[in-house]
A and B are shown apart, each in its own frame.
Chain A
Amino acid sequence: MAAQNLQSVPAELTAGTSETAEADGQANFDRVIAEDSRIEPKDWMPAAYRKTLLRQISQHAHSEIIGMQPEANWISRAPSLKRKAILMAKVQDEAGHGLYLYSAAESLGQNRDEMTDALIAGKARYSSIFNYPALTWADMGAIGWLVDGAAICNQVPLCRASYGPYGRAMVRICKEESFHQRQGFEILLELSNGTPAQKQMAQDAVNRWYAPALMMFGPPDDDSPNSKQSMAWNIKRFSNDELRSRFVGMMVEQVRVLGLTLPDDQIRFNEDSKKWEHGPLDWDEFHEVLAGRGPCNSQRLERRREAHDGGAWVREAAAAYAQKQSMKTKEYAA
């Protein structure tokens, strides 16, 4: 995240018309991208680059915030004190990730409260995955292993995103995500080694989360209009299909250790392309969920709104207290 909105002390030698400034800015931007260096908040950047980043970062932030819900719902019913503590730490991390990302978005000139308003008004998008319900305890395992696993696969290359504050936020997030995936794996492993009913519960959760997790990488490359430009700008480093294929390869190995199976009999390694292939995914469902018509969309937004409204008195009280303190300080000074 950046030191953002900082006052700049203008250099004396920057006088020039806005057109030459624009051309110079573009030239500098092109050079930085060509060198695979980083753009920082106060640098000139093309309007479309700023817009693309804002869309991606704010959606990402919203996903982290909404992503707290499926797991927070299970804290009270986690099977042991240890599991409760782990789940609380994980949910707290998701909140933290949302805040890192909101900060990065703000460094592009977006107002934090406007982002919050857009989310609770249902105008902002977030990852479709969080609109599926977490039905059993095994879902906490499958979410950690598959959903956080897919997120890590997606996010590790984003640590090198050309926009500095975004890359730095992703570095911090990726460090914390690996605990999320491992604790999920462990939950599934324990269930898999438990009673037949527990093993069945683990398999059922994997069956339900597998396809939605694969769809987290976004639409297939030939149906992903923004990908090409994002890659040219060094925001994205790999295409959706490339990352998805890589993820499938990792899961194939790991599911064996779990003693479970993936619900896809078409997984195979293509010797020609050297890539993992998987069965067809239901992209109509993906677009429906993204458009707000998934199993839990309204429930998630409703909960977010309640939390926001329920916290209003805290924000107001803190602001009132801060104002009172600053007036007291002024009185002393006078």
Chain B
Amino acid sequence: MSPHGNPEAPASSATEINREAPKASPAPQEHTDHAWGLWEVFVRSSRGLSHVHAGSLHAPDAAMALRNARDLYTRRNEGVSIWVVPADAIAASDPDSKGAFFESPQGKDYRHATYYTKSEGVKHL
């Protein structure tokens, strides 16, 4: 790009639509030989708080994943610490378990302070 001329200038003027179709493109290359793994990114926004999942990215190794995560998820001081975890190292509960997996707390309201109403109005309780 020339530092002086307008790189946008070779295009036709804005009011005139150029009917030229995009140039034929080369066939896509195979990526399988160096496809980068998927990493999940966790960011601690400030001291005293937990790391929270921020998103994911691709990187060839942990060091690059950390650098990419810094550039992608902390451009505005969003974090003071980052974890990156290979996505396939995370085991997740099955969403198809239809609640069975999380059934145990159901009907156990007595595990919550709000279950106990007789103490209402009593100070410091």
Contacts and interface: CB of A to CB of B under 8 A. Distances in A.
Given A13-B97, A299-B10, A4 B91 contact: no
A293 B8 contact: no
B119 interface: no
Nearest to A315: B34
Interface string A271-288: 000000000000001001
A73 B5 CA distance: 10
Nearest to B64: A318
Contact of A76 (B3, B11, B29, B61): B3
Contacts of A64: none
Nearest to B14: A208
Contacts of A298: 20-23
Interface string A84-95: 000001001100
A316 B19 CA distance: 37
Given A99-B72, A133-B11, A298-B23, A3 B97 contact: no
Interface string B1-32: 10110111111111111111111011111010
B61 A325 contact: yes
Given A113-B31, A319-B36, A11 B94 contact: yes
A124 to B, nearest CB: 11
Interface size class of A (residues with CB under 8 A): 35 or more
B57 A42 contact: no
Q: Is the interface of B mostly helix, strand, loop or mixed?
A: loop
Contacts of B75: 89, 92-93, 96
Contacts of A70: 8
Nearest to B54: A1
Interface residues of B, number: 60
Contacts of B64: 318, 322
A299 B11 contact: yes
A67 to B, nearest CB: 14
Contacts of B110: none
Contacts of A11: 93-94, 96-98, 100-101
A127 interface: no
Contacts, number: 177
Contacts of B16: 295
A270 interface: no
A120 interface: yes
Interface string A290-318: 00111111110110010000000001101
B35 interface: yes
A25 B33 CA distance: 36
B94 A9 contact: yes
A3 B53 contact: yes
B60 A322 contact: yes
Contact of B60 (A1, A21, A122, A319): A319
Contacts of A9: 91-94
Nearest to A16: B96
Closest 9 CB pairs of A and B: A11-B97, A117-B28, A1-B55, A322-B61, A322-B60, A319-B34, A6-B92, A133-B8, A113-B31
17 contacts: A3-B40, A3-B90, A4-B38, A5-B88, A9-B91, A11-B93, A11-B98, A40-B95, A96-B75, A100-B72, A103-B56, A113-B31, A117-B31, A133-B8, A135-B14, A293-B19, A296-B11
